[in-house]
């Protein structure tokens, strides 16, 4: 056998070994549901609603580890939100990373209970809305205050509709 043919055989053997090693590496990676999960982009105007949606997606896709939840959220944030949590992303703690990230985002972009109550009492945003939309928005602002919402809602209705 010539030297050239010997090199060809060695090259073919090396390629075969490389392919086998690559196949072993691919098969050793767990088939994570994190890779297949679809999450909508971060909703800055309703961060509580976005987290409620994403946590249901976690449950449906069996994403239960703190690290996986943290990674999924971190990869779905836009630039301005990333800047607000930069320190948590660059230097994450060893435990409760997801909870820390969620708390910081809600603190930064979510409405406080006080601001929701002020918006509810001020009522400027209800102008021109249908009564059913007014009631829905009031319930969003104060979800556990049915009696209070009913009283405010009836006050906001035109006098001809109240009865």
What is the per-residue pLDDT for 34? 59
- Report percent pLDDT > 70 for the chain: 88
Handedness of CA 86, 113, 118, 130 (dihedral sign): positive
First to last CA, the chain: 104
Same domain, 145 and 93: no
Does the residue 95 lie in any domain?
A: yes
Domain residue limits at 18: 1-30
State the pLDDT confidence band at 142, using cuts at 50, 70 and 90: confident
What separation in angstroms does the CA of 96 have from each of 68, 78, 144, 149? Answer: 11, 22, 28, 36
Same domain, 82 and 54: yes
Q: d(Cα 95, Cα 120) in Å, to the nearest integer?
A: 37
Burial of 57 (C-beta count, 10 Å sphere; 0-12/13-18/19+): middle
Contact, 73 vs 79, CB < 8 A? no
Same domain, 60 and 124: no
Strand extents, DSSP E, the chain: none
pLDDT by residue (tens digit) across 6-42? 878 877 877 776 776 666 554 444 545 556 778 888 8
Same domain, 37 and 54: yes
Same domain, 140 and 76: no
Same domain, 38 and 105: yes
Q: d(Cα 70, Cα 101) in Å, to the nearest integer?
A: 7
Does the residue 63 lie in any domain?
A: yes
Same domain, 70 and 20: no
Does the residue 38 lie in any domain?
A: yes
Same domain, 49 and 1: no
Q: d(Cα 53, Cα 76) in Å, to the nearest integer?
A: 13
What separation in angstroms does the CA of 106 have from each of 14, 35, 42, 158? Answer: 54, 25, 12, 36
Same domain, 44 and 99: yes
Does the residue 163 lie in any domain?
A: no
pTM as predicted: 0.59
Same domain, 48 and 102: yes
Q: What total of structural domains would you count in the chain?
A: 3
């Amino acid at each position: 056998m010539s030297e050239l043919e010997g090199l060809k055989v060695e090259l073919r053997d090396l390629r075969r070994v490389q392919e086998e090693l690559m196949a072993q590496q691919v098969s050793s990676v767990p088939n994570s549901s994190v890779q297949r999960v679809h999450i909508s982009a971060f909703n800055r105007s309703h961060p509580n609603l976005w987290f409620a949606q994403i946590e249901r997606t976690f449950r449906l896709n069996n994403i239960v580890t703190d690290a996986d939840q943290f990674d999924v959220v971190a990869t779905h944030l836009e630039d301005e939100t990333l800047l607000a949590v930069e320190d948590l992303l660059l230097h994450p703690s060893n435990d409760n990373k997801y909870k820390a990230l969620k708390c910081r985002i809600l603190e930064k972009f979510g409405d406080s209970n006080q601001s929701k109550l002020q918006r509810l009492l001020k009522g400027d945003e209800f102008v021109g809305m249908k009564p059913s939309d007014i009631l829905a928005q009031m319930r969003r602002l104060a979800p556990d205050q049915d009696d209070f919402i009913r009283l405010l809602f009836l006050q906001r209705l035109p006098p001809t509709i109240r009865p």
